[in-house]
C-alpha cells in the first residue's frame, strides 16, 4: 500500500484544561508505530504524556495547559511525519491494557444469583468466550501455550455447571492479564520517557545577525546562541561566552558544569546561567541526544540470551502443567482438581518478569549515564569475568597537558612552533589536539594560515603552511610513512619518554622541526574502582598500553593488574582480546579511541568512555556518558544485580507455583484459589522487576564518598 507523503489532519474530539483527545482514521492504522508517535509528541514543549488508542483511532495528550503549547501540538498534527506508518515492532503492537473483561466478570458475578438456569449458562458462556477463543487461536497458531491451559480450565468449570467458579476464574485471569500488561507497558514507558524534549527553534548567526530558525535546518559549522534556561539543541564547541550547564539529562549528574571557549557541549543539556555561542559539530540524528534515542529504541526491541532462555523454559513448563493435570485426573477423575492444576503455569512470571527487569535496569542505567545498546549488552557485562583496559582515556584521565615545546630548528622559536601546530590540530578531535590548542590559547598565540588538512587516522596530519609542507604525528608515522628521521635527536626524545611523556613529532619540508611533550595523569579513583570490580567477581584485570615494558609493568603493579601487554600497537588490541576469549574468558573491553573499535567488536561486550571517538562509541555495546570510572562499576553492579534478580525470580516462581500445583492436585485448592495465588505471585514478581536493582546501595554510596575524597586530595597534589 502506498503511504501518502502527508497524513490527513486530526479532529479535536474532546478537551480539558490540560488534556486533549484527538481522533483520525490513520490513528487506527495497523501499521502505526505507536511508540514512535508517542515519543515524538513527548518531544514537544509542554507535553507531559501521550497515549494512543489504536482501537478507537484516537490519542490522548496531557500537557501543561499553556495556550502556545496547545497551539504547537495542533500545528504538529497538521503535518505529522508519514514515517509513523510502518510495520510496528512487537513492542509497539502490544495491546493496550483493558479492564473491560474484569468489569464484565464482576458484573456477571453480581447478576448470576438473579438469573434462571438457561440465562446463567449463556451469561457464563458469553463472559468466558474471549478466553476460550484466544486458547483456540493460540493452539492453532503457536501450539500448546498457557492460553490453552487457561481456556481448558474455564471451559471445564462451565461445562460442569459451576458457573460461579468459571466467571470468578475468568475475572481473576482478566485482572492478572490487565496488571501484567500494565506492568510491561510501564517498563516500556520508563525507557521511552528518557527521550528528552528537544527545542524546535534555535538562534543562529546568519550574515552577522542572529535569526531564529527550526532546529532541523541547522548545519554543521553553524554558530548558535543559547541563553539562561534554554536547552542546547546540538553537540558543539563553545566559541564565545561562559555559562553553567546542567548535564543531568546526559550524565545523570545533577550538578552544573562551567563551560567557556574551547569546551565541548552536548545536546539535551541546559544552561542554568550565562550565555554561550556554540559552533555546531553534530546536528540532527548525529547528536548525543539522538544517539541516546536510538539506544533506547534498540533496548525496546532487542531480546537478550537470558530473556530467550526464560521464554524457552516457560514454554517447556506448560507441558509439565499439562502432564501433571493428566496424572491428577487419571488418579482421581476429579475435574475440579484438573481445572485447578491447569490454572497454574510457570510461564507468566518467567516470560514477563525477565524483560521487565531488564528494561528497568536499562532505565536505571540511562539515568546514571550508562547506555546499554540492548538487553544482550547487559547480559554479557553481567557474565564477564575478564576486564581489559586500554590505558589512555580509561585508566588515565585522557586530559593531556602540554609540558614541553622543543624546537629542533634554530630559526623557529618555541612559541611560533606551538602556534603552527595548534592552528593545524584544531581541525582534529583527538585529546592530543585539544591539549595543544588549549595551550596555544593560554599563551594567546595567533592563528597561522594553512591549506586543507589531510588526516590519517591514528597516525597524523599533513598540510601546507606558508607554502611549505608540514607533517605532524607519531614518530612511526613520520619515519615509516614520510621517511623523516629523528635519529639525530634520540637523546632528547629518550629523556622526555623516560619522564613518562607522550610525544608529538613535527616536521617541515621533510626535516625535523620540533617535539611537543604531553603528560596524561592516572585517574585518582582508578585503583579503588579496580579493587571494587575484583570484589564484584571479576577474575582477571588486563592492561593494554603502548608504553615501554618497564613503565607498563610499574603501572600494572600499582593498580594490581593481573596481566599487562606493553608496547601494544593499535592493530594488536583486537588480537589480545581474541586470545583471551580463546582461553575461555568472557571479555569486557574498555576503550575510547578510534584504534579501539576492532577490540570493542571482538570482545564479548565493549564499553566506550564518554570522550571516546565517534567510531568507538558507534561500535561499543555500552556507552558511558559520565567521565568518572565509578560509572563503569555502576554498570557492572547494575547488570550483575539484574541477572541475580532474574535468577531469584525463577527460583521463587518455580517454588510457589509447584506448591500451588501440589495443593490443587491434592484437592486443597479450588480453581478460584489457584488462579488467585498464581496471579498474585506473578504480580509480585512483576512489581519487584519494576523496582529493579538500586544503584544507591551501601557500597556504591561509600565508594562515592571515598572517590570524592580522592578527587579533593588529587587536586591538592596529595595523591601520587
Q: Please count the other Cβ atoms lying within 10 Å of the Cβ belonging to residue 210.
A: 13
The lowest-confidence range among 149-153, 284-288, 612-616 is 612-616
Burial class from Cβ neighbours inside 10 Å (0-12, 13-18, 19+) for residue 509 reads exposed
The continuous run of DSSP H or E covering 278 comes out as strand 270-282
Mean pLDDT of the region 432-454: 89
d(C-alpha 326, C-alpha 320), whole Å: 10
**Residue pLDDT, tens place only, 585-630:** 999 999 876 567 678 878 899 888 876 655 456 667 888 877 788 8
d(C-alpha 316, C-alpha 308), whole Å: 13
- CA distances to 399, 425, 442 from 438, rounded to whole Å, are 11, 11, 6
Residue 241 has φ and ψ, to the nearest 5°, of 85, 180
- Which residues sit opposite 388 in a β-bridge? 542, 589
> Residue 692: left (phi > 0), alpha (psi -120 to 50), or beta?
left
Per DSSP bridges, beta strands 386-390 and 587-591 are parallel
Are residues 195 and 290 in contact, defined by beta-carbon separation less than 8 angstroms? no
- Which residues sit opposite 718 in a β-bridge? none
* Total residues belonging to the chain: 720
| Domain architecture of the chain: domains with CATH | 11-96 (3.30.70), 201-290 (2.70.150.10), 373-397+522-625 (3.40.50.1000), 401-519 (3.40.1110.10)
Alpha helices in 546-620 (DSSP H): 549-559, 570-582, 597-602, 614-619
| C-alpha cell, 56 | 478507537
Q: How far is CA 282 from the centre of its chain?
A: 20
Question: Tell me, what's the pLDDT at 91?
Answer: 45
Q: Please count the other Cβ atoms lying within 10 Å of the Cβ belonging to residue 696.
A: 9
Residue 60 has pLDDT above 80, yes or no: yes
Which residue's C-alpha cell is 629523556? 495
Averaged pLDDT score across all residues of the chain: 78
Closest CA to 322 of 156, 146, 142, 128: 146
> Residue 509: left (phi > 0), alpha (psi -120 to 50), or beta?
left
- CA distances to 127, 282, 377, 693 from 361, rounded to whole Å, are 38, 29, 12, 7
Q: Which stretch, 80-94, 159-173, 232-246, 525-539, has highest mean pLDDT?
A: 525-539
140: CB partners within 8 A, 6+ apart: none
Mean pLDDT of the region 199-225: 85
- Which residues sit opposite 522 in a β-bridge? 396
Question: Tell me, what's the pLDDT at 657?
Answer: 80
Residue 454 has φ and ψ, to the nearest 5°, of -95, 125
- Which residues sit opposite 238 in a β-bridge? 278
* Confidence band of 706 (pLDDT split at 50, 70, 90): very low
- The most distant pair of C-alpha atoms in the chain lies apart, rounded to whole Å, by 112
| C-alpha cell, 458 | 591514528
Identify the three-state secondary structure at position 560. coil
Identify the three-state secondary structure at position 157. helix
Residue 677 has pLDDT above 80, yes or no: yes
Quick one: what percent of the chain has pLDDT higher than 70? 76
Quick one: what percent of the chain has pLDDT higher than 90? 15
Are residues 678 and 343 in contact, defined by beta-carbon separation less than 8 angstroms? yes
Per DSSP bridges, beta strands 540-544 and 563-565 are parallel
* Confidence band of 718 (pLDDT split at 50, 70, 90): very low
* Confidence band of 4 (pLDDT split at 50, 70, 90): very low
Residue 309 has φ and ψ, to the nearest 5°, of -65, -40
* Confidence band of 192 (pLDDT split at 50, 70, 90): low
d(C-alpha 153, C-alpha 140), whole Å: 18
Question: Tell me, what's the pLDDT at 705?
Answer: 45
Mean pLDDT of the region 177-195: 60
Whether residue 390 lies in the annotated active site = yes
Q: How far is CA 644 from the centre of its chain?
A: 20
Q: Which long-range contacts (CB under 8 A, 24 or more apart) does 576-585 make?
A: 576/388, 576/542, 576/544, 577/388, 577/602, 577/603, 578/602, 580/386, 580/388, 580/540, 580/542, 585/385, 585/386, 585/540
Q: Please count the other Cβ atoms lying within 10 Å of the Cβ belonging to residue 490.
A: 9
Question: Tell me, what's the pLDDT at 648?
Answer: 87
**Residue pLDDT, tens place only, 64-115:** 888 888 888 888 787 665 555 555 444 444 555 567 777 888 888 788 888 8
The continuous run of DSSP H or E covering 7 comes out as none
**Residue pLDDT, tens place only, 111-142:** 888 888 888 889 888 888 888 888 888 778 87
Per DSSP bridges, beta strands 58-63 and 19-23 are antiparallel
Q: Please count the other Cβ atoms lying within 10 Å of the Cβ belonging to residue 32.
A: 21
Identify the three-state secondary structure at position 274. strand
Per-residue burial over 433-471, b if 16 or more Cβ lie within 10 Å, else e, is bbbbbbbbeeeebeebebeebebeebbbbbbeeeeeebb
d(C-alpha 30, C-alpha 23), whole Å: 15
**Residue pLDDT, tens place only, 310-340:** 556 656 666 777 777 788 878 888 877 877 7
Upper half-sphere CA count for residue 633 (Cβ side, 13 Å): 26
The continuous run of DSSP H or E covering 698 comes out as helix 698-715
The lowest-confidence range among 71-85, 223-237, 645-659 is 71-85
Question: Tell me, what's the pLDDT at 348?
Answer: 62
Mean pLDDT of the region 201-206: 86
560: CB partners within 8 A, 6+ apart: 527, 530, 531, 534, 541
Residue 710 has pLDDT above 50, yes or no: no
Are residues 34 and 58 in contact, defined by beta-carbon separation less than 8 angstroms? no
Closest CA to 309 of 358, 268, 362, 262: 358
Upper half-sphere CA count for residue 484 (Cβ side, 13 Å): 22
Mean pLDDT of the region 275-304: 70
Are residues 34 and 88 in contact, defined by beta-carbon separation less than 8 angstroms? yes
Question: Tell me, what's the pLDDT at 309?
Answer: 58
Question: Tell me, what's the pLDDT at 142?
Answer: 75
**Residue pLDDT, tens place only, 448-458:** 988 888 877 55
Alpha helices in 302-455 (DSSP H): 305-332, 335-342, 347-367, 375-383, 414-425, 431-442
Q: What is the 3-state secondary structure (H, E, C) of 57-119?
A: CEEEEEECCCHHHHHHHHHHHHCCCHHHECCCCCCCCCCCCCCHHHHHHHHHHHHHHHCCHHH
174: CB partners within 8 A, 6+ apart: 101, 102, 104, 105, 131
Question: Tell me, what's the pLDDT at 419?
Answer: 94
Per DSSP bridges, beta strands 370-372 and 511-519 are unpaired
Per DSSP bridges, beta strands 264-265 and 223-226 are unpaired
Q: Of these residues, 390, 547, 604, 621, which one is catalytic?
A: 390
Question: Tell me, what's the pLDDT at 248?
Answer: 57
Bigger pLDDT: 407 vs 53 = 407
Amino acid at each position: 500500500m502506498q503511504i501518502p507523503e502527508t497524513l490527513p489532519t486530526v479532529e479535536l474530539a474532546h478537551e480539558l484544561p490540560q488534556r486533549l483527545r484527538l481522533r483520525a482514521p490513520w490513528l487506527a492504522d495497523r501499521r502505526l508505530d505507536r511508540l514512535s508517535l508517542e515519543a515524538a509528541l513527548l518531544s514537544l514543549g509542554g507535553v507531559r504524556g501521550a497515549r494512543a488508542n489504536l482501537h478507537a483511532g484516537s490519542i490522548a495528550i496531557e500537557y501543561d495547559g499553556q495556550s502556545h503549547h496547545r497551539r504547537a501540538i495542533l500545528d504538529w498534527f497538521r503535518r505529522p511525519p508519514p514515517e509513523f506508518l510502518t510495520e510496528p515492532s512487537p513492542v509497539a503492537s502490544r495491546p493496550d491494557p483493558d479492564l473491560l473483561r474484569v468489569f464484565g466478570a464482576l458484573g456477571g458475578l453480581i447478576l448470576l444469583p438473579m438469573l434462571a438456569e438457561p440465562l446463567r449458562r449463556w451469561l457464563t458462556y458469553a463472559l468466558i468466550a474471549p478466553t476460550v477463543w484466544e486458547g483456540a487461536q493460540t493452539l492453532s497458531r503457536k501450539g500448546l501455550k498457557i492460553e490453552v491451559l487457561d481456556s481448558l480450565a474455564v471451559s471445564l468449570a462451565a461445562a460442569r455447571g459451576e458457573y460461579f467458579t468459571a466467571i470468578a476464574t475468568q475475572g481473576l485471569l482478566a485482572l492478572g492479564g490487565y496488571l501484567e500488561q500494565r506492568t510491561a507497558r510501564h517498563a516500556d514507558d520508563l525507557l521511552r520517557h528518557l527521550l528528552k524534549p528537544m527545542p524546535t527553534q534555535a538562534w543562529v548567526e546568519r550574515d552577522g545577525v542572529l535569526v531564529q530558525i527550526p532546529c532541523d535546518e541547522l548545519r554543521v559549522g553553524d554558530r548558535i546562541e543559547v541563553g539562561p534556561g534554554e536547552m542546547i539543541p546540538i553537540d558543539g564547541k563553545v566559541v564565545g561566552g561562559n555559562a553553567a550547564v546542567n548535564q543531568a539529562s546526559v550524565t545523570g549528574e545533577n550538578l552544573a558544569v562551567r563551560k567557556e571557549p574551547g569546551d565541548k557541549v552536548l545536546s539535551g543539556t541546559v544552561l542554568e546561567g550565562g550565555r554561550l555561542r556554540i559552533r555546531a559539530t553534530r546536528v540532527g540524528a548525529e547528536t548525543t541526544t539522538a544517539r541516546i534515542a536510538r539506544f533506547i529504541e534498540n533496548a525496546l526491541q532487542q531480546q537478550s540470551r537470558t530473556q530467550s532462555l526464560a521464554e524457552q523454559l516457560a514454554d517447556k513448563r506448560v507441558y509439565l502443567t499439562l502432564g501433571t493435570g493428566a496424572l491428577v485426573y487419571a488418579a482421581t477423575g476429579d475435574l475440579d482438581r484438573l481445572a485447578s492444576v491447569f490454572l497454574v503455569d510457570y510461564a507468566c512470571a518467567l516470560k514477563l518478569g525477565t524483560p521487565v527487569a531488564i528494561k528497568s535496569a536499562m532505565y536505571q542505567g540511562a539515568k546514571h549515564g550508562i547506555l546499554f545498546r540492548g538487553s544482550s549488552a547487559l547480559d554479557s557485562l553481567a557474565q564477564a569475568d575478564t576486564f581489559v583496559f586500554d590505558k589512555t582515556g580509561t585508566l588515565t584521565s585522557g586530559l593531556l597537558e602540554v609540558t614541553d615545546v622543543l624546537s629542533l630548528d634554530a630559526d623557529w622559536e618555541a612559541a611560533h612552533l606551538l602556534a603552527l601546530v595548534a592552528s593545524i590540530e584544531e581541525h582534529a578531535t583527538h585529546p592530543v589536539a585539544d591539549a595543544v590548542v588549549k595551550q596555544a590559547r593560554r599563551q594567546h598565540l595567533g592563528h597561522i594560515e594553512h591549506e586543507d588538512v589531510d588526516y590519517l587516522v591514528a597516525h597524523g596530519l599533513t598540510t601546507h603552511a606558508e607554502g611549505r609542507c608540514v607533517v605532524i604525528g607519531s614518530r612511526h608515522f613520520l619515519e615509516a610513512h614520510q621517511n623523516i628521521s629523528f635519529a639525530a635527536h634520540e637523546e632528547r626524545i629518550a629523556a622526555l619518554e623516560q619522564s613518562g611523556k607522550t610525544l608529538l613529532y613535527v616536521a617541515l619540508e621533510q626535516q625535523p622541526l620540533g617535539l611537543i611533550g604531553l603528560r596524561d595523569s592516572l585517574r585518582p579513583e582508578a585503583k579503588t574502582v579496580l579493587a571494587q570490580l575484583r570484589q564484584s567477581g571479576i577474575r582477571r584485570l588486563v592492561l593494554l598500553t603502548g608504553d615501554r615494558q618497564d613503565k607498563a609493568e610499574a603501572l600494572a603493579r600499582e593498580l594490581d593488574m593481573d596481566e599487562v601487554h606493553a608496547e601494544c600497537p593499535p592493530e594488536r588490541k583486537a588480537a589480545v582480546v581474541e586470545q583471551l576469549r580463546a582461553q575461555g574468558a568472557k571479555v569486557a573491553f574498555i576503550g575510547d579511541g578510534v584504534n579501539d573499535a576492532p577490540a570493542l567488536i571482538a570482545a564479548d561486550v565493549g564499553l566506550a568512555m564518554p570522550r571516546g571517538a565517534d567510531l568507538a562509541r558507534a561500535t561499543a555495546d555500552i556507552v558511558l556518558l559520565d567521565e568518572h570510572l565509578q560509572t563503569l562499576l555502576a554498570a557492572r553492579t547494575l547488570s550483575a544485580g539484574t541477572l541475580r534478580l532474574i535468577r531469584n525470580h525463577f527460583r521463587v516462581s518455580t517454588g510457589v507455583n509447584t506448591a500451588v500445583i501440589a495443593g490443587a492436585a491434592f484437592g486443597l485448592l479450588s480453581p478460584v484459589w489457584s488462579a488467585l495465588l498464581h496471579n498474585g505471585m506473578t504480580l509480585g514478581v512483576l512489581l519487584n522487576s519494576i523496582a529493579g536493582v538500586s544503584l544507591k546501595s551501601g557500597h556504591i554510596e561509600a565508594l562515592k564518598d571515598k572517590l570524592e575524597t580522592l578527587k579533593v586530595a588529587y587536586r591538592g597534589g596529595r595523591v601520587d
